[in-house]
Structure formats: C-alpha cells, structure tokens
Structure 1
C-alpha cells in the first residue's frame, strides 16, 4: 500500500521510560541519523507509543529526542499513562471539588514520578513546557492502515471519544473530569492508557516485580471467548496459587474489550513484557519489553502488512550502565 507523504513505512517504538541513550542507539540501528538536533530517516517515520518519562536515568534526553522528531514531522506519538499521570499529578483541583490535586500525592504516586522530578528539578521552565507539550499528544492514532494506542483499543469507547474530541487530544476540562470514576473521561483515559484491570479475590495480592503490591491484574483484549483468568492475563507477574484456572464472572467478562482478528494491525505498549519479542495475535504487537528494568527497547518495522511478522521486531538490550545517573549529556542535540 502507498503511505501518506510517500514514505516506505513506520517504525513503532515502545515504552522508553527515560532510557534516552538506548533510544538514540535504537534509532541509529533503524537507520535514523541526527541532523540539526533531530533524528531523521530518508524514507520512514517513527511512531512512539507513549511513556517517555519516569523511572529511567535520561528522561530529559528521551523527551527531547521524541519531541523534536514529532514537532519536525519525523515522528508521531500517542499518550501513555505516565504522561497522563504527570498532567494530573501537577494540577490542582478546581475550587469546590473537595480535593487538592487531581492525582493524589500519595507515597506510591510520589515514587512513580520521583525520578522525573529530580531530573527536571534544575530546569523548571523546561518541565512546564514539557507538560504543555503532553497536552498536545493524542490518545490514539489511526493512519495508513494501522492503529496505535498505549494500552487498549476499545472501538465503542473510541467512537464516543472522537465524537467529542475529533483530534483525539484532551483538554483541561477532560483532565478535571477524568478523576471522577463515574465520568466518561475517566473511563476513556483509563481504558486507552491503562487497559483493563481485573480485581483479585479479596485478600489476594501480587508482589510485583517493580516493587509494588498489586490487588488487580492486567487483562488483554484479544481473546474471542475467554473463560478463565488465565485466558486474559497479560503481565509478567504470575497469579498466585491456581488463580489462572478461576472462572471469569459475568461482571468480569463485561469489563473486557475485544479486538478481533479481522481488525487492522494494532500496536500497543504498557504491558512490560519480557523475553524475546513475540506477537500475541497475528494483527497485534505489544512493544513494551521492560526497557527500564534492563530489558529491551523494542521497535517494529511496519511496511503496510495486515498480518504482522515477528521477524520485523528490532530491539536493543538496555545495559546496566544506562541506569547510572547521567553526567552532562553524552548525546549533544544542539
């Protein structure tokens, strides 16, 4: 198929989470080279799947690389839950709402954004400008026969969202609405950037690999007729005991979305997969392979195919030295 702007295809890149030096290396491996402070390819463009920030050692570098590419027309991007978190964490509630911040400043939430704040601490104007740029990032993208969303493509929800926001970009009213669990904005932001979470039975917890205690598990959306927890779980942390055999209740089934095999190719991030990149379905690729946990920063080279090909994954392992606190940037973009 012919692509918009006459390019050959797109290189979709999963959750970077502040691994900026590895992002630069992956772009070079994909054939992008820096000119005028911007990574460019003569025949291709990048699509970032969100979650540029938090946790990693070179967050400002990761944001700068991606933002410059997007603003120069060399790349596109969709919003991840970590960009959404940053927006709500830094906004005060409106008068009379009964809260102080849209995202509560709990120890858990503080910990998630701590590394980002530390790396922008001496650059407050840059951080405010970065937050303003996050507001320009769409929640989803459909282009040249592919679809991109950070966590879950829910067609009925997306149709309602686009009727209200045709450019797929949220506004301040949406952000303030999104903290009310009974609101449409909450449902849309939760589903598209965080996916579906199934609550665990009362008293059951998962000690997650990222150091958090979780009382839900992440569920995928491509099982045609799921019956058990094991049919839909999509995360590296195993369920305790024999919970994978537990039957999904009618209420739990009603929470799930479904993306069928005849739908266009879809790319997501978010689910911190592990191991060698593989396709969970013939028309779905997850590109989050736990880069910030010494995993892989993964791309998929898409050339218009409807059935995806696992041989088209490209990745770089994130070395442990990537985790060291960066001295003045090793990659000069100026």
Structure 2
C-alpha cells in the first residue's frame, strides 16, 4: 500500500482518487508513503504535502457562506461542499450548481470569488480522467460527467455496484465502456 501512486497519468488516460488538480499533482510527483518524511508531512494538516493529499484523495471542498449548511446523504450537517472541480466556474454560479453529486436541499447562493478561485477546472482537450470518492447514487446512469471526466464511485464501498471503465484508447468516454460488478 505504501508504494501505490496517488494518481496515474498514462498519457492518454488519467486516474485519481478524488480530484485532478495539476498544481497538487506536481507537488506529489514521484513521492510515496514509503518516504517517512513525506508520510509525516502528508499526514499534517496545512502543510503543502497535507493539503495536496487532502484534495487529491478526498476531493475539492469549498466552504459555504457563514451560517449555511445542508444535510448530506447520511443526514450529517455539512458547511462545505465537494465541488465539481472539472468545471470552469464563473462569477454568479451557485453552490447548488457546483456541488457533486447534486443535492436539491442546497440553496442557490452565489459562490464567492475566493471559493471560485479554488476550482482548477479540467481542459476540454485533456485526456480522459477517472475519479472516485464522490459517491454518486448507486442507480445513477453509467455516463460521464463530461466527455473526458467520469466518476466511477457508484457506492461500491457501501452496497452499491463496483464500477470500472474499459478504456481502448478513445478520447471521449463512452457509456458502453463502463463495466459493472454487483
């Protein structure tokens, strides 16, 4: 486990546990948990290594306005959302449009500029990227979020199906490439 990469970039395809964030990918390039100093730094909040691993492995989280919260899928109150990091968010977009997966209980308040600046976006012409950790509903359609961005987490860790993608070199993710077990 200590040798596993934090992400894969195979040229024509990419994979990451939660968020593809180029600046943070570069920060951990060539590193592993076998390196004791990196392991300690990565486990320490607010260090460059800790911040990189937090986003790459847990997702891009942006704060809601003071006093605003919503209930997540397990009825836990949340004051931050996991954002659609692949979007090129612009001024005036609401938190309801950026949360992933969608939550109808989230108010349509505009995202402030400081939070918008945290969203890296993912270029339309970049290789396909696959990610997990965002927990789509088990009955969600097997379809990409965008032609080159797909979440494969359909609840495989919590009684949903285990979902993978069979890639054959294509630049656009196709629904027929999904493979489901369970």
The TM-score, its normalising length taken from structure 2, stands at 0.87
Greater RCO (CA < 8 Å, at least 6 residues apart):
1
Q: Is the 8 A contact 2:59 2:134 kept in 1?
A: no
User: Which residue of the partner structure matches residue 13 of structure 2?
Assistant: 146
Cα gap change, 1:247 to 1:220, in 2 (>3 Å): same
Q: CA deviation at 1:180?
A: 3.6
- 2:82 corresponds to 1:215: no
Partner of 1:293: 158
Is the CA contact 1:223–1:231 (under 8 Å) kept in the aligned structure 2?
A: no
Q: Which residue of 2 is the match for residue 277 of structure 1?
A: 142
Give a deviation string over 1:198-231, Cα, whole Å, max 9, x none.
2223333333223533221110112123322133
Alignment of 1:59-138 (within 5 A): 134-138=1-5
Structure 2 distance, partners of 1:155, 1:138, is: 15
* Cα distance in 1, alignment partners of residues 89 and 74 from structure 2: 31
Residues 143-173 of structure 1: CA deviation (Å, up to 9, x unaligned): 25111110111112222322xxx2x423222
Q: Secondary structure at the match of 2:179?
A: strand
Gaps in structure 1 of 5+ consecutive residues: 1-133, 318-334
Give, in whole Å, the separation in 2 of the partners of 1:160 and 1:291. Answer: 29
Q: Cα distance 1:239–1:186, how it changes in 2: closer, same or farther (>3 A)?
A: farther
TM-score, length of structure 1 as denominator length:
0.49
Residue in 1 aligned with 2:168? 303
Cα distance, 1:136 vs structure 2: 1.3
Give SS of 1:145's match: coil
CA separation of 1:294/1:161 partners in 2, compared to 1, >3 Å: closer, same or farther?
A: closer
Q: Do the aligned residues in 2 keep the contact of 1:301 with 1:313 (CA within 8 Å)? A: yes
1:46-98 deviations in whole A, cap 9, x for unaligned? xxxxxxxxxxxxxxxxxxxxxxxxxxxxxxxxxxxxxxxxxxxxxxxxxxxxx
- Which residue of 110, 123, 126 maps to 1:247? 110
Aligned partner of 1:268 in structure 2 is 131
Equivalent position to 2:121, from 249, 253, 258: 258
Matches within 5 A, 1:318-333: none
Mapped to 2, the partners of 1:144 and 1:270 lie a distance apart of: 23
Query: Do the aligned partners of 1:299 and 1:315 also contact (CA within 8 Å) in 2?
Result: yes
Going from structure 1 to structure 2, the CA distance change for 1:246 and 1:204 (only over 3 Å counts) comes to closer
Q: How does 1:29-44 map to 2 (within 5 A)?
A: none
**What is the RMSD computed on CA atoms of the aligned residues?**
1.9
Contact 2:11 2:127 in 1 (8 A): no
Partner residue of 2:38 out of 174, 179, 182: 174
Structure with the higher fraction of residues in helix conformation: 1
Aligned residue number for residue 155 of structure 1? 22
What CA distance in whole angstroms lies between the structure 2 residues aligned with 1:185 and 1:159?
Answer: 11
1:207, 1:213 within 8 Å by CA — same for their partners in 2?
yes
